Structure 1
């Protein structure tokens, strides 16, 4: 990422705690990169220890390509006289502060709100983005689905980009006059210091359930990662937590931010109650005001409450907020509905954790008003937390009349192995109602062919994704496209 004028190295290091500098800090840095292949004259090369490779292996190459400075945890055996070496205990953490300084601290020029939790992050971030634009502000969005600066869409590769890309995006938002930015904060991003050096005006906690144990190893580590976000919030920020989640209080134990709460079950700063929930919309009471929303489901009631709470905490008029919220639609692939000419209802949802799948299926159960058959098509991703596979199958069986287990993003695993692990969660009583169809397209067509008028089909797991990842290659595959085609047939 480049900065045409460049920045003095000593200025970039002002926020970094105890760096050891070999050489002069009085040089200009024109760009920062973690990729040795992108090093040019005037680069600061960051030797980052990643999950796949260790950037320290490429220090020599970066020096040869003309790097002016190297940020590392260990100095190389041979030091080049023309290169300045900055040694720090953690390059990932230092990189966040350096990237922030390089782009003139863009997060301080915006109201930056971070949303963390297992489920609901994308919906909450997207709702906030839509709401504040409707209220007349220029806004930016950083989410799993996409990054957006006003109307410009920038495809997302990670839930939270790396610190350099993140600050470059925030700088672009500030340049374009954005006053607000809403950002999903993943647990990986906290642990990998991708958000180091950022200034948040507020943080929102949605909920926490088992996920990403392939990365964090234990549930306790996962909780600590989420809590780490609230630990770093400044005194000037707010920390808005779902108090109905038993770990809501844990999240804010050590925060300096002003603690606020939202709930459907108990007393809270922002209290909601569902009056009625139908396929057409949801009637709610929010802080004693009755409102009709176009989005549905208990999980969305929580999402809307957190958005309402955050907006009010940011100084917006409560009635204006509720008026605009009542017009919002769900983000792509989040409980997105499709109707066939025969009145079959099909829902595409990103639910890829046991808790998210249960939330969606519980909502469908509440929306049933007769003897509609519920058909669920679900799979599990490869090279991810394998513990959840049998649980996902068990939940699908518990709430559905028919279950079709299929492939999701198998990545580098054999889809049949994943499906076998899922099958272990099926109770013997439910064997008859379960079918295994590894081909996802075939599975969706099968569900549609079996459905009768009024029946409800759920296609779970991939939501907004328009690809299927197999052996490192992303093949075009969009649940919504396939579903539309299958419903027409």
Structure 2
């Protein structure tokens, strides 16, 4: 997808002030692309390195197809103007945003990142802003919206060209605010470059995605990148209950608001009632306390609510309106989502992918379950195989009937993945292996019948 500005275009010298221009004093751009087959005459070709491919190898083909200039991280043996930058991904994001008129300049833009809770927190913040009368656009793992039209999400955070397109659509639709869920991969790949944020929310910071980032430090740096993208006067919202998050405090230059269930924080919560399908908590900030009744369960959901409340309070929204916005979110697809089909037992769907997330989900459901707890789960193929046995340990310890099934095995044999999970069981006979996902779910439902 090629973002383009249907005017005279943009000056790359204005957008990329530190770039080196070769054989040209400037390049005016109306459209850009990263793959040679997408090039139309006059386009800027941007050489981007990705896993298993290097766009620098395609520059010559892009020029043959009519690219007016090539942007790269090194000087290339091709004819015509070149623009050399330190990071072509960063440049891609900056150019894409410039091509659509930098919509974040006219939007109140909130970025949400963290190891878990990003999607729900994003939806909660959007709901709080809507309760305050704002028109809100959203990009998240469950979909993209410009407040008028919606689209399913293929990625938690779209690539730079599509992200720019959606922000542009938001301004055209009259949005006043945008809430963007930002994965660690998206931040590492600079997909949001060129966006200036009014607020940056970090839900928590745990060990995850190490196969992608290579180390815990690289993962942390990817998350921290969001803080460097704040507008002047922008603020940070941090989880006071999460030690890894609070360790960032000395390094932050922007104002910080903290939230927590267990720690001394600016915004706190106290759960006062739990039921199978809802809970009530007291939301406190300063001298004000309001009750919030939510149809979503779990301590971590309350934590997500506190993060959203912190954003709302900092933006000047009163606590009663914030509570109304939080209560309006009754479900988020795949996030401990309650399914009601007239059955006499609870059924929940959750996207828990890591051992820690699975443990948290099962712990929450155990508190809300009087009888047996049945868990249908699996592990994806082709990634983080070390976690599989730990998933098994968590399931054996935390539920009464663990049912191991297929979960996007990719190129791997589903039974091999199931056996890797069983390696974590002390008593492997407790685990039921049903590779067919439909079969596994049917068995769980039949077994749950009273």
Give TM-score scaled by structure 1 length: 0.87
1:390–1:425 contact (8 Å) kept in structure 2: yes
1:226–1:251 contact (8 Å) kept in structure 2: no
Among 175, 179, 184, the residue aligned to 1:178: 175
Distance 1:212 1:155 in 2: 23
Q: Could you tell me how far 1:342 is from its partner in structure 2?
A: 4.7
2:3–2:164 contact (8 Å) kept in structure 1: no
Instruction: State the partner residue of 2:419.
Output: 420
Q: Could you tell me how far 1:228 is from its partner in structure 2?
A: 2.3
Q: Could you tell me how far 1:261 is from its partner in structure 2?
A: 0.1
Change in CA separation of 1:121 and 1:62 when aligned onto 2, cut-off 3 Å: same
Instruction: State the partner residue of 1:68.
Output: 68
Q: Deviations over 1:235-281 (max 9, x none)?
A: 41110001101111133432322111000012111011111221231
Instruction: State the partner residue of 1:19.
Output: 19
Among 209, 213, 230, the residue aligned to 2:210: 213
Q: Could you tell me how far 1:375 is from its partner in structure 2?
A: 0.7
1:29–1:44 contact (8 Å) kept in structure 2: yes
Instruction: State the partner residue of 1:46.
Output: 46
Q: Deviations over 1:158-193 (max 9, x none)?
A: 221222221221111112111111111111112111
Instruction: State the partner residue of 2:100.
Output: 103
Q: Could you tell me how far 1:156 is from its partner in structure 2?
A: 1.7
1:231–1:254 contact (8 Å) kept in structure 2: no
Distance 1:328 1:69 in 2: 48
Instruction: Establish whether residue 247 from structure 1 lines up as the match of residue 248 from structure 2.
Output: no
Instruction: State the partner residue of 1:483.
Output: none
Q: Could you tell me how far 1:221 is from its partner in structure 2?
A: 2.0
Among 194, 218, 237, the residue aligned to 2:191: 194
Distance 2:300 2:128 in 1: 18
Structure 2: tracts of 5 or more residues without a match: none
Instruction: State the partner residue of 1:116.
Output: 113
Q: Could you tell me how far 1:324 is from its partner in structure 2?
A: 2.8
Instruction: Establish whether residue 386 from structure 1 lines up as the match of residue 381 from structure 2.
Output: no
Change in CA separation of 1:252 and 1:71 when aligned onto 2, cut-off 3 Å: farther
Secondary structure at 1:114's aligned position in 2? strand
Distance 1:106 1:336 in 2: 33
Among 109, 123, 130, the residue aligned to 2:127: 130
Q: Could you tell me how far 1:13 is from its partner in structure 2?
A: 3.4
Secondary structure at 1:3's aligned position in 2? coil
Q: Deviations over 1:36-64 (max 9, x none)?
A: 11100121111000113111111111111
Instruction: State the partner residue of 2:331.
Output: 330
1:159–1:185 contact (8 Å) kept in structure 2: yes
Distance 1:179 1:25 in 2: 37
2:32–2:46 contact (8 Å) kept in structure 1: yes
Instruction: State the partner residue of 2:293.
Output: 292
Within-5 A mapping of 1:264-275: 264-275=261-272
Secondary structure at 2:211's aligned position in 1? helix
Distance 2:410 2:14 in 1: 42
Secondary structure at 1:157's aligned position in 2? coil
- Count of matched residue pairs: 445
Distance 1:6 1:178 in 2: 23
Q: Could you tell me how far 1:452 is from its partner in structure 2?
A: 2.7
Instruction: State the partner residue of 1:411.
Output: 410
1:118–1:211 contact (8 Å) kept in structure 2: yes
1:33–1:46 contact (8 Å) kept in structure 2: yes
Instruction: State the partner residue of 1:29.
Output: 29
Instruction: Establish whether residue 347 from structure 1 lines up as the match of residue 348 from structure 2.
Output: yes
Change in CA separation of 1:342 and 1:180 when aligned onto 2, cut-off 3 Å: closer
Q: Deviations over 1:276-322 (max 9, x none)?
A: 22123111011032222222111100011111111111121221111
1:227–1:252 contact (8 Å) kept in structure 2: no
Change in CA separation of 1:224 and 1:3 when aligned onto 2, cut-off 3 Å: closer
Q: Deviations over 1:360-409 (max 9, x none)?
A: 111111112x3x11110000111222222111111111111100111101
Instruction: State the partner residue of 2:55.
Output: 55
Q: Deviations over 1:43-96 (max 9, x none)?
A: 11110001131111111111111111111112222x32xx32101121111222
Distance 1:208 1:387 in 2: 20
Structure 1: tracts of 5 or more residues without a match: 454-489
CA RMSD, Structure 1 to Structure 2 (Å): 1.7
Distance 2:229 2:42 in 1: 32
Change in CA separation of 1:5 and 1:26 when aligned onto 2, cut-off 3 Å: farther
Secondary structure at 1:42's aligned position in 2? coil
Distance 1:324 1:27 in 2: 46
Give TM-score scaled by structure 2 length: 0.94
Secondary structure at 1:351's aligned position in 2? coil
